[in-house]
Structure 1
Amino acid sequence: MNQHIDMKNEPVRPLSMHPQRFALWLFIVSIVMIFAAMTSAYIVKKSDGDWVDIILPQSFWLNTIVLVASSVTMHMAYIAAKRNNLNLVKIAMTITTILGLSFLVGQYVSWGELAAMDVHFEGKPAGSFIYVFTGLHGFHLISGVVFLIIVLVATFRFKVHSKSMNLIGMCATYWHFLDGLWVYLFIFLLLNH
């Protein structure tokens, strides 16, 4: 008896992620671990007893607003790319990049405010932590601005559109992460000073 079973052997697609996106997520996880360790160290050091609270610079508030606004414009650029509205992508990416650079300038101004309040990297542990938090975040934000510029150039070369979303998608993920990280640090410092 010859039985013929007609089965279509459709390959099962494994769950996968673009290798660059996977590398980005590994990088983000490592940054989370660094800042989790640092905020834990802050709490432990604060309980030592030789802690002197520091008043946060007023510019931190403005910097936070600037960074949240940049997250909004980054999202606008991403949505515009999905809809092939390339002019809006260019405008939103340009604004996001300008806001990112403005935040970095604002952080430099904040360090000036800290110095004017006689808060320096060495001396009071609270001041040292503020410099380390903002400096390390600023370093990562510089990498984010570089990423924004790369996407901005790609946008002007018409390489960012609905059929080519990986680059802007990764940039949006990283930028939103950096914005969220700053909001976390700012709230942490507000609640723990």
Structure 2
Amino acid sequence: MANFHIDEQNSRSGIHPLKFSLWLIIISIIMMFAAFTSAYIVRREEGNWLEFDLPSILLVNTIIIVLSSVTMQLAHNAARKNNLGTLKAMLLATLLLGTAFLIGQWYGWANLVQNNIYFGGTGSNPSGSFLYVLTGVHGFHLVTGLIFVLLVFLSSLKYKVHSKNMLRIQLCTIYWHFLGGLWLYLYIFLRINH
């Protein structure tokens, strides 16, 4: 998706091919996390499930990702109004908040290790392994989102993101809001089912 030199006009179906592709990616990610969370519930019911407190950093990360969604939307709004200074500032803020989220995830994993909760191997429990998988796979997708935001930010420095060229920022905003919504789902799911 790095090359956005494609005309922003919609295809015959009424949706731009890149938007259609992004929605297919989002649907596949939703299906993957639906499978993960279903497996979590089924495995928990089988027994031998270690109960432990979730790392408190997960709540902080939830606040961070909600704030990053706000800054991403502000960037989108700024592009639509040709407010290029605000656009760049909000994209940079989104990058910083996304990075802070990943650092928070790292601290969450460190907290799990300190409490002898490991991923796989001897001495591990499925409850800990599931937590690593859910947060790790989300973290991977967040890294892809950060790369996407960085590419849009670099494009904005070259004045390629503005009201007459919104495709980059639209795609990025959709994906970033999706990642935020996915995290909220995971956080609530873990709070209810852990």
Give the TM-score, by structure 2 length.
Answer: 0.91
The CA deviation at 1:52 is 1.7
Instruction: Report the aligned-residue RMSD.
Output: 1.0
1:9-51 alpha-carbon deviations (Å, 9 max, x no partner) = xxxx954211111111000000000000000000000110211
2:191 aligns with 190
In structure 1, C-alpha distance between the alignment counterparts of 2:114 and 2:176, rounded to whole Å: 31
The CA deviation at 1:150 is 0.2
The CA deviation at 1:117 is 1.1
In structure 1, C-alpha distance between the alignment counterparts of 2:128 and 2:135, rounded to whole Å: 11
In structure 2, C-alpha distance between the alignment counterparts of 1:101 and 1:14, rounded to whole Å: 38
Paired residue for 1:104, among 102, 105, 124? 102
Does residue 88 of structure 1 match 2:89?
Answer: no
1:78 aligns with 76
Matched residue type, 1:17:
I
In structure 2, C-alpha distance between the alignment counterparts of 1:149 and 1:14, rounded to whole Å: 31
In structure 1, C-alpha distance between the alignment counterparts of 2:186 and 2:165, rounded to whole Å: 33
In structure 2, C-alpha distance between the alignment counterparts of 1:37 and 1:15, rounded to whole Å: 30
In structure 1, C-alpha distance between the alignment counterparts of 2:144 and 2:52, rounded to whole Å: 28
In structure 2, C-alpha distance between the alignment counterparts of 1:53 and 1:144, rounded to whole Å: 32
1:73-124 alpha-carbon deviations (Å, 9 max, x no partner) = 0000001100111100000000001101111111011100111111110211
Does residue 40 of structure 1 match 2:41?
Answer: no
2:130 aligns with 129
2:141 aligns with 140
Q: Which aligned runs of 4 or more in structure 1 are off by greater than 2 angstroms?
A: none
Larger radius of gyration: 1
1:5-44 paired onto structure 2 within 5 Å: 14-44=12-42
1:149 aligns with 150
Matched residue type, 2:76:
Y
In structure 2, C-alpha distance between the alignment counterparts of 1:109 and 1:39, rounded to whole Å: 23
SS in structure 2 opposite 1:55? coil
In structure 1, C-alpha distance between the alignment counterparts of 2:19 and 2:98, rounded to whole Å: 22
1:118 aligns with 116
In structure 2, C-alpha distance between the alignment counterparts of 1:36 and 1:107, rounded to whole Å: 21
Does residue 52 of structure 1 match 2:53?
Answer: no
Give the TM-score, by structure 1 length.
Answer: 0.92
The CA deviation at 1:163 is 0.3
The CA deviation at 1:152 is 0.3
Q: Report the count of equivalent residues.
A: 181
The CA deviation at 1:54 is 2.4
In structure 1, C-alpha distance between the alignment counterparts of 2:148 and 2:47, rounded to whole Å: 42
Unaligned runs of 5+ in 2: 1-10
Unaligned runs of 5+ in 1: 1-12
The CA deviation at 1:128 is 0.3
In structure 2, C-alpha distance between the alignment counterparts of 1:58 and 1:134, rounded to whole Å: 14
Matched residue type, 2:24:
L
The CA deviation at 1:139 is 0.4
